[in-house]
Amino acid sequence: MATYKIRVATGDYLCGGTMDSVAITLVGIRGESPKFRLDRPGKDFSPGEVDEYVVQTEHHLGSILLIRLHKERYSIFPHTNWNCSFVEVLGPREEVYRFPCYQWIVGYTTLELREGTAKTIREDANNQLLLRHRKEELRAKRQAYRYKEFQPGWPKCLDVDTVDQLNLNDQYSSTKTSTLEVNLAAGQVELKLKGLLDCKKSWNKLDDVRRAFWFYRSPASEYVSRHWDEDAFFGYQYLNGVNPVFIRKCTEIPAKFPVTQEMVAKSLEKHTTLDKELEKGNLFLIDCQILEGTPATKLNGRRQHIAAPICLLRLNPWGELVPIAIQLTQQPGPESPIFLPSDSEWDWGLAKFWVRNATFHIHEVLTHLLYTHLMAEVFTLATIRHLPMCHPLYKLLIPHTRYTLHINVLGRVRLFGPGGLIDEATATGFHGLSYLLAKGLSTLTYSTLCLPDDLRDRGVESLPNYYYKEDGMKLWEAIHSFVSGIVCLYYPDDISVREDPELQAWVAEIFDKGPLGRESSGFPSRLETIV
């Protein structure tokens, strides 16, 4: 006889336990055990608990490769879902095998789990049982997770219409869902009390904007309230504000933006000129060309407007980045004047408003929605569909994809889809957003998503007071060091990378479903080397 001790951990989630009957089968290199029901006096499988059991087999099973968890009906009780964290098996010779699960087991089913050591497919090459398990796991996942086109020219997304259709493992926890709903309700109450929820009138004076800051004040919001109209703060926000990835060095004054020395002389000291500042590398651009042609919607019956401005900023001797010229279109001429700090307070202030408004659209639609949410969804789906749970890259990535599918599906329903908040409250509406996002994807490059490359391409590696750059590079280097260590541990040479079919299927799908197979994007469609 051989005795095995079994420890089963249930996730500490609301309703994470189960009343169903749970049995286990151990599968080793020398055979498999009968199905043992896991039962002991008292309540089994309660949230946050670790239950211990003892099972005996006629002979030693050798190294345990797989376990099967059988979740079946118990008496007359209706089925309940179960959140299983892990199963641990202690063998007759004190050997320990750990089987990570960390998922909901829904309904009556049998779930097969393999021992948790990360392995590439090459390491399983001589074991047909483990190869079969990898193949069956991925087949089931590709059947459960399918793509669809939400809008032409967008990255492909998960083929579900509502969050209720999501796999339970991809949904928010009950606690997170409740917190989200409470916060949304509180936000609506706040807007109602401020008179903003149903407001369709224009603000008559700038002080009316302060109504938006009645609640949730902070030192940062108070500072912004006092300094928002200052040129130095305007420039600072492009370094460390909402969208600090758009500013780039100006190496020559664009022909479409004919700024002259005479125009900006009052913004420069007597000992310098526009050409000298250009030569020193002190000039920077905010060019919103990508907004050109974006259709605007109607709100409350009034046609909205979307500018595609160009803003020239200068790094002054005091280390401040300040705007010195603004043009609100991409075509120079009498109908498109260049605004200057020497203009009237209202002209200059409104010009800055339009620049901020334009970069708001770019941030929300491209930097935030496209580069973050939608591209992350493609990486998430490719990881689920092409990397088995035992794959080292799956283990590395999957913790960082949690809730990605839920928030994106929710966003398509409530936020950026037709009839959502963006459609009803911003100048682009859904049609303009869809146009801008497709245009953004058609120009997206892989280097845009890689911080060191992006900083170099924009010429801002040495820009002072750029804390986004400094903090971001520290994080990048830490992540790069960790990931490189993991990759080199499991891929000893370039051949091992090229000969991993799961890895190659993963990156090929990202290339196909993310940038839609566009080679000029620079996204790899195949991996050839470790680095």
- C-alpha 288/C-alpha 330 separation (Å) is 8
Q: What is the pLDDT of residues 45-66, one digit of tens each?
A: 999 999 999 999 999 999 999 9
Q: What is the pLDDT of residues 244-253, one digit of tens each?
A: 999 999 999 9
Task: State the average pLDDT over residues 346-350.
Answer: 96
Find out whether 232 and 216 touch, Cβ atoms under 8 Å: no
In degrees, rounded to 5, the angle at the alpha carbon of residue 133 between the alpha carbons of residues 131 and 136 is 110
Q: Residue 272, class by beta-carbon neighbours within 10 Å (0-12 exposed, 13-18 middle, 19+ buried)?
A: middle
Q: How confident is the model at residue 426 (pLDDT cuts 50, 70, 90)?
A: very high
Q: What residues does 5 pair with on adjacent strands?
A: 54, 90
Q: How confident is the model at residue 218 (pLDDT cuts 50, 70, 90)?
A: confident
- Average pLDDT of the chain is 94
Is the pLDDT at 452 greater than 70? The verdict is yes
Q: Residue 192, class by beta-carbon neighbours within 10 Å (0-12 exposed, 13-18 middle, 19+ buried)?
A: exposed
pTM over 0.85: yes
In degrees, rounded to 5, the angle at the alpha carbon of residue 85 between the alpha carbons of residues 83 and 87 is 120
Is the pLDDT at 474 greater than 70? The verdict is yes
Q: CA distances (Å), 283 to each of 128, 166, 276, 323, 331, in order?
A: 63, 49, 10, 10, 21
Q: How confident is the model at residue 215 (pLDDT cuts 50, 70, 90)?
A: low
Q: What is the pLDDT of residues 173-194, one digit of tens each?
A: 888 888 888 888 877 777 777 7
Q: What residues does 261 pair with on adjacent strands?
A: none
SS3 percent helix, strand, coil of the chain, rounded to 5, is: 45, 20, 40
- C-alpha 480/C-alpha 450 separation (Å) is 11
Task: State the average pLDDT over residues 279-293.
Answer: 98
- C-alpha 375/C-alpha 271 separation (Å) is 48
Q: Look up residue 83 and give its two tokens.
A: 């959140």
Q: How confident is the model at residue 77 (pLDDT cuts 50, 70, 90)?
A: confident
Find out whether 386 and 505 touch, Cβ atoms under 8 Å: yes
Is the pLDDT at 272 greater than 80? The verdict is yes
- C-alpha 371/C-alpha 367 separation (Å) is 5
Half-sphere exposure of 170 (CA within 13 A, CB side): 23
Residue 11: per-residue pLDDT: 95
| Residue located via tokens 């929820």 | 197
Task: Report the 10 Å Cβ neighbour count for 89.
Answer: 21
Question: What's CA 335's distance to the chain center, in Å?
Answer: 41
Find out whether 5 and 52 touch, Cβ atoms under 8 Å: yes
Residue 52: per-residue pLDDT: 96
Beta strands 36-37; 21-28: pairing state:
antiparallel
Task: State the average pLDDT over residues 457-479.
Answer: 97
- C-alpha 247/C-alpha 455 separation (Å) is 10
Is the pLDDT at 213 greater than 70? The verdict is no
Is the pLDDT at 135 greater than 80? The verdict is yes
Is the pLDDT at 199 greater than 80? The verdict is no
Q: What's at 42, amino acid-wise?
A: G
| Residue located via tokens 């973050």 | 372
- C-alpha 16/C-alpha 82 separation (Å) is 5
Q: Of 367, 399, 469, 408, nearest to 100 (Cα)?
A: 399
Is the pLDDT at 209 greater than 90? The verdict is no
Which of 24-28, 57-61, 74-78, 111-115 is predicted least confidently? 74-78
Is the pLDDT at 108 greater than 70? The verdict is yes
Which numeric CATH code is attached to 2-117?
A: 2.60.60.20
Is the pLDDT at 208 greater than 80? The verdict is no
Residue 307: per-residue pLDDT: 97
Is the pLDDT at 78 greater than 90? The verdict is no
Q: Look up residue 138 and give its two tokens.
A: 């991925």
Task: Report the 10 Å Cβ neighbour count for 371.
Answer: 18
Residue 282: per-residue pLDDT: 98
Is the pLDDT at 197 greater than 90? The verdict is no
Residue 190: per-residue pLDDT: 75
